[in-house]
Amino acid sequence: MDIDFIYPYSHTVSHLKSSDIRDLMKYAIHPGFISFAGGMPNNHLFPVDETEEIYHNLPEDIKESAFQYGPTTGMPALREAVKKYMKTKGISFDTHDVLITTGSLQGIYIISELFLNPGDTVLAELPSFVGALTLFKSFQARIEAVPMDDNGIKPEALKQAYEKNPHAKFLYVIPNFHNPAGLIYNKERRKFLLDFIKEKQLILLEDDPYNELFFDNETETLTKPVLGTADTKTARQIIYAGTFSKILAPGFRLGWLILPKEIMNKAEIIKQSLDACSPNFSQVIAEAFMRQGYMHKYLEKIRPEYKIRRDLVLEAVEKYFPSYVKYVKPKGGFYLWIELPEDISATKVLDYAIKNGVVFVSGKSFAPDDSLTNAFRIAYSNVDLHQIDRGIKVIGEGIREAMKTA
Amino acid sequence: MDIDFIYPYSHTVSHLKSSDIRDLMKYAIHPGFISFAGGMPNNHLFPVDETEEIYHNLPEDIKESAFQYGPTTGMPALREAVKKYMKTKGISFDTHDVLITTGSLQGIYIISELFLNPGDTVLAELPSFVGALTLFKSFQARIEAVPMDDNGIKPEALKQAYEKNPHAKFLYVIPNFHNPAGLIYNKERRKFLLDFIKEKQLILLEDDPYNELFFDNETETLTKPVLGTADTKTARQIIYAGTFSKILAPGFRLGWLILPKEIMNKAEIIKQSLDACSPNFSQVIAEAFMRQGYMHKYLEKIRPEYKIRRDLVLEAVEKYFPSYVKYVKPKGGFYLWIELPEDISATKVLDYAIKNGVVFVSGKSFAPDDSLTNAFRIAYSNVDLHQIDRGIKVIGEGIREAMKTA
């Protein structure tokens, strides 16, 4: 018999392995389970009827264009709509341009391909978005994790991390309603960040998917993108990633990069090889959704919905979790980040929870070095209201159980 | 004043440059121009009404799921629909599995990331699809171009190319209604290809976007995928890329890879970092389009439409082109490939054509080494019927002009 065929994998691929989260999702989509796992919008809050109406009323030639290929940089009218929208957040298009991407993760991929060689270092918050961490690793980058406190990245820790890695290619941050930490950067920390990248000539990749999901007016004033507060010169070091996934639909796979004009052409060439162009069908709908004022109305509708879920989760946490559990009250977004005493394993809590029909994601998934074993993320965005109390109760029991064997 | 900020590009990116075709598209979308440039379906033939009806009648929970994230491998029902469809073309899922991709170009990207290290060689037909060539180059691969004749890749040329490059990672081919060559592989050439990859243990990447666009029943029998004719062992060396771009809509950005099961997991991990999942909105519609039998009806409608355009183009070519021009009559697909005498430059013909309001793509765009300067591609798929005669007349004049100065 012939010997087996051996696939000649590239160096990049040979070290890839699937994430823990993929396995967790088996439970998350199980009908009997209460899931705090998925970092996704609520299934029942999508603008389904509005979208159908918008599409139905589009002129025939626009509908036809929705079926066709479009420019690699994106549908021109959508790019203009995004510019108009981002200008309201202080961003200037004298220095920057817009590239429509197939979700913001593709935007982060494009930036990584622009800058990362194997062995390069990326500075990132600890914890950070697992999708970005996995992506950076797929470029064979080293991730230097910089701890945060309740107000954002720690200044001293960032200074030290940079001193250790003066050739780091960029700093990746999520200043608004952080995934998974649930916090928002305060004004001082934003100013520190700007001053720091200016002094060090460091590139900042600002990922801002949750910008619009604030729960009160005071918090809204904090959500201004870092890019929107930078002077013209520093702005050239900042790349901003936005997305329609939280203000319309992840299923549209539509995001945008706001890039310094100097790097736009190379970003476009990379995008060309990735998928030629983003889905025109989604772009046509998203453009009308913005232009016709639906986005504003939709956000007014969903913000209180997520706030209710946050409140119910916090109420249940107060009721069922031991008092030694630490957390920051989220002022927007989808996530509550829980810290246990150092010797308690979140994996044990998770095991207990899964046995009892509840699932969430443990902290080490959000750490490039598998640290944060005593923390976990509760995503309250896509859970049914009436299940929150029961789900948090089970997790509370799990914490007490894990404490016994710690 | 401070010195300018310098972007720390990666090695991969520093050699990237934009394609000539991008510049040509300026003309192609210009209202006054007759364009034979874009390799795209006809704007007025998309199933716009059918799609709206399909979507309108979907159950509410399916509509909601269209807005949400989906599994990285694709919507389960769509994967099943693709399997059922591909089984009708002889493909077995004992050895293979389906991965839904964001267009077939993303599929080719995934395969390239799976196998290519910088400096690796890819064997490809000469001419070949410019999108794939650019993509392979973005992985810093060397492309060894293998000439074709009217029946497909030349056996002797392939043997020689392989002898020169015994460590080539894979062979990339488009056996059905080739882009840009317009030809279809005959039975003997398909058999040769299979025997050759079997003997050499070479991976075959079979790109098959035009499979369904045959113009007669006899040709239909030739379109069976190479993968569908392989024995179980050889099949494990074949990866097949399909797409909805020609049977539904490029604007949906939806394709599929049919992969040996052994490489499915790594392909999924790569896809996860590229865009997390393909657009669910498109997937939900495509699944219903297939399941409810719309695809079959739609193909019955569009095949004669493209055949009419092919006939009009050939008629005009007979009338206006000098007799020393060579071409193969396309039996399906979108393209007519024109070869001029060796000393005539297609760029000169193109310059003349553009000055007179007509555009097409010259041959060297489809050659990794800028050869094929005496050839060009006429895409007849997205041109208005009444413009074909006038457009081809202008190109004919351009050929005679170029001949004068050759």
Residues A289 and A305 in one domain: no
The CB-side HSE value for A165 (13 A sphere, CA atoms) comes to 21
Q: Are A209 and A179 in contact (CB under 8 A)?
A: yes
Q: Are A351 and A26 in contact (CB under 8 A)?
A: no
pLDDT of residue B395: 98
> Number of helices and strands (H, E) in chain A?
16, 14
Nearest Cβ partner of B105 from A250, A275, A281? A275
Do the bridges between strand B255-260 and strand B96-101 make them parallel or antiparallel, or are there none, so unpaired?
A: antiparallel
Query: For residue A122, what is the domain's CATH number?
Result: 3.40.640.10
* Contact assignment for B18 to A269 by CB distance below 8 Å: yes
Please give chain A's pLDDT, 406 residues, in tens.
455 789 999 988 877 777 777 777 778 778 889 999 989 999 999 999 999 999 999 999 999 999 999 999 999 999 999 999 999 999 999 999 999 999 999 999 999 999 999 999 999 999 999 999 999 999 999 999 999 999 999 999 999 999 999 999 999 999 999 999 999 999 999 999 999 999 999 999 999 999 999 999 999 999 999 999 999 999 999 999 999 999 999 999 999 999 999 999 999 999 999 999 999 999 999 999 999 999 999 999 999 999 999 999 999 999 999 999 999 999 999 999 999 999 999 999 999 999 999 999 999 999 998 899 999 999 999 999 999 999 999 999 999 999 998 7
Residues B333 and B343 in one domain: yes
Does residue B3 fall inside a structural domain? no
Does residue B6 fall inside a structural domain? no
* Contact assignment for B251 to A60 by CB distance below 8 Å: no
Choose one of A294, A315, A345: the last residue of a domain.
A294
* Contact assignment for A114 to B269 by CB distance below 8 Å: no
| Beta-carbon count within 10 A of B333 CB | 30
* Contact assignment for B281 to A249 by CB distance below 8 Å: yes
Domain that holds residue B183: 49-294
| Beta-carbon count within 10 A of A400 CB | 14
- 105-144 in chain A: CB under 8 A from chain B: 105-106, 109, 113-117, 120, 131, 134-135, 138
Is any Cβ of chain A less than 8 angstroms from the Cβ of B281?
yes
Nearest Cβ partner of B251 from A66, A237, A252? A66
Residues A133 and A190 in one domain: yes
Residues A232 and A341 in one domain: no
Does residue A4 fall inside a structural domain? no
| Residue B294 in tokens | 């719309």
Residues in chain B: 406
The CA distances from residue A339 to A190, A349, A365, in Å, are 24, 12, 14
Nearest to B280 by CA among A65, A333, A244, A306: A244
pLDDT of residue B51: 96
Residues B53 and B166 in one domain: yes
Burial-class residue B399 by CB neighbours within 10 Å (0-12, 13-18, 19+): buried
Residues of A in contact with B95 (CB under 8 A): none
Q: Three-class SS of residue A89?
A: coil
pLDDT of residue B29: 76
Residues B280 and B309 in one domain: no
The CA distances from residue A82 to A289, B144, B161, in Å, are 11, 42, 49
Q: Identify from B10, B55, B63, B171 which residue to disrupt to test chain A contact, counting A C-beta atoms within 10 A and taking the largest count.
A: B10
Asked whether this complex has an ipTM greater than 0.85, the answer is yes
Contacts of B93 (CB under 8 A, 6+ apart): B83, B86, B87
Residue B253 DSSP class = -
Q: Are A249 and A239 in contact (CB under 8 A)?
A: no
Residue of B nearest to A265 (CA): B18
* Contact assignment for A40 to B69 by CB distance below 8 Å: yes
Do the bridges between strand A358-359 and strand A34-35 make them parallel or antiparallel, or are there none, so unpaired?
A: parallel
Residue of B nearest to A267 (CA): B13
Query: For residue B385, what is the domain's CATH number?
Result: 3.90.1150.10
Low-confidence ranges of chain B (pLDDT < 70): 1-3
Residues B84 and B163 in one domain: yes
Do the bridges between strand B238-243 and strand B203-207 make them parallel or antiparallel, or are there none, so unpaired?
A: parallel
Does residue A52 fall inside a structural domain? no
Residues of B in contact with A249 (CB under 8 A): 66-68, 281
Residues A236 and A363 in one domain: no
Choose one of B260, B294, B328: the last residue of a domain.
B294
Residues B120 and B163 in one domain: yes
Give kind and range of the element (H or E) at residue B1: none
Q: Three-class SS of residue A323?
A: coil
* Contact assignment for B266 to A16 by CB distance below 8 Å: yes
Distance between B200 CA and the closest CA of chain A, angstroms: 11
pLDDT of residue A1: 41
- From the centroid of its chain, how far is CA A91? 20
Count how many domains chain A has. Answer: 2
Residues B36 and B107 in one domain: no
Residues A290 and A393 in one domain: no
pLDDT in tens, B117-158: 999 999 999 999 999 999 999 999 999 999 999 999 999 999
Is any Cβ of chain B less than 8 angstroms from the Cβ of A377?
no
pLDDT of residue B15: 74
Does residue B276 fall inside a structural domain? yes
Q: Number of CB pairs < 8 Å for A and B?
A: 243
Q: What is the spatial distance between Cα A14 and Cα A307, in angstroms, rounded to a whole number?
A: 43
Residues B180 and B311 in one domain: no
pLDDT of residue B20: 72
Does residue A350 fall inside a structural domain? yes
pLDDT of residue A14: 76
Nearest Cβ partner of B113 from A10, A41, A115? A10
Choose one of A251, A275, A294: the last residue of a domain.
A294
Does residue B129 fall inside a structural domain? yes
Distance between B343 CA and the closest CA of chain A, angstroms: 32
Does residue B228 fall inside a structural domain? yes
Q: Three-class SS of residue B134?
A: helix
Contacts of B354 (CB under 8 A, 6+ apart): B27
- Which DSSP string do the residues of A139-208 spell out, in sequence order? TT-EEEEEEEETTEE-HHHHHHHHHH-TT--EEEE--SS-TTT-----HHHHHHHHHHHHHHT-EEEEE-
Burial-class residue A186 by CB neighbours within 10 Å (0-12, 13-18, 19+): middle
Residues of A in contact with B21 (CB under 8 A): none
| First-to-last C-alpha distance (Å) of chain B | 54
Distance between B319 CA and the closest CA of chain A, angstroms: 32
- 334-363 in chain B: CB under 8 A from chain A: none
| Residue A46 in tokens | 């999508």
- From the centroid of its chain, how far is CA B267? 20
